[in-house]
Each structure stands twice: as structure tokens, then as C-alpha cells.
Structure 1
Amino acid sequence: MSPKTSKSARTSESRGRTPMTPGRIAVLVLAVLALVFIFENTQETEIRLLVPVVTMPLWAALLATGVVGALCGSYFAYSRTRRR
């Protein structure tokens, strides 16, 4: 292989990968800690949803709240980058 060919092969391979930045590592660590926290809290709890009172496992309520928060965050991040 000539040096010209091998260099272009290397750049095309590295384009598909995204580097692990400190911010991404911090987000991954926080996500893992949140999941550990959620699944350690397994007791039943009463939750009021506007009017009715629902009894459910605390981990399910925490997980649902985290998913809603992640969806809201990704929506706002997407709408912010779309305007630019």
C-alpha cells in the first residue's frame, strides 16, 4: 500500500467515530449513578397524579421522571441547534 492510500483509509475510519470528551464521560457517569439510584429504591410508594393516588414501585416513578426529563432536554437541545 502506498502512503497516500493508507492515509486516506485512516481518515475515513476516524470520521465515523466520535471522541470521548470529558463532557460525554461526565454525562455517562451521571447516567449510571442515576440508574443505580433508581434501581436501589424498590419499595412501594403512593404517588398523587393530579387527582388519583397511585401505588407503584418508587423505581418506576423515578425512571419515568428521568425519561421525561431526558426527552425534554433532547427536545430543547434539538430545537436550539435547529434555529442556528
Structure 2
Amino acid sequence: MATNPRPRKASGSTPLGDFFTPGRITALLIAVLVLIFIFENTRKTRIRLLIPEVTMPLWVALLATGLIGLFLGMYLTHRRR
């Protein structure tokens, strides 16, 4: 009696259907909304970085802060596994 080593997929399952889970769709939607928010705020602003005060576009500061948060979140979740 031969056994099939691979489980069968549901008849309507596609590779893209497996990729787009509700969690990934939500994360993608939040990422798009964050990018829209960042790029809508393009005026220059003064930011104090500990001691020096710099003038830069607000979108650069928001994007840098978001990327730092993303990398820290990825690092911390990777370390827990």
C-alpha cells in the first residue's frame, strides 16, 4: 500500500491565497497608511537630537523613526524565538 507523503491542498488554494493571510493584509494596510501619513507631512521642522538642533523635512524624521521601530521590533521578535 503506497502512501502519499504530501498532504493535498484544498481545491481553491493558490500560492497567493496562502501568502495573503488576514494578518499580512492588515500589516500591509497599516504600512500603506503609515507611508501616506509620512509623505503628507513634507514641511521642514526643527528637531533636537540630544544637544544639536537640526532642521529637516518632517517626513525624513517620521520615516527614520518608523524604520528604527521596525528594525527594533524585528530584532526583539527574532530574539524571542
Following TM superposition, the consecutive aligned residue runs of length 4 or more in structure 1 with deviations greater than 4 angstroms are: none
Structure 1's 77 and 18: CA in aligned 2 closer, same or farther, altered over 3 A? Answer: farther
Query: How much does 1:18 deviate?
Result: 4.6
> Which 5+ residue runs of structure 2 have no aligned equivalent?
1-5
Which structure: greater helix fraction? Answer: 1
Counterparts of 1:12-51 in structure 2 under 5 Å?
Answer: 18-51=18-51
Distance in 1 between the 2:60 and 2:76 partners?
A: 24
Query: How much does 1:19 deviate?
Result: 2.5
> Which 5+ residue runs of structure 1 have no aligned equivalent?
1-7
Percent identity among equivalent residues? 56
CA RMSD after TM alignment: 2.1
Query: How much does 1:20 deviate?
Result: 1.3
Q: Normalising by structure 2, what TM-score?
A: 0.77
- CA deviation string 1:8-27 (max 9, x = no partner): 7x97xx78x85311111100
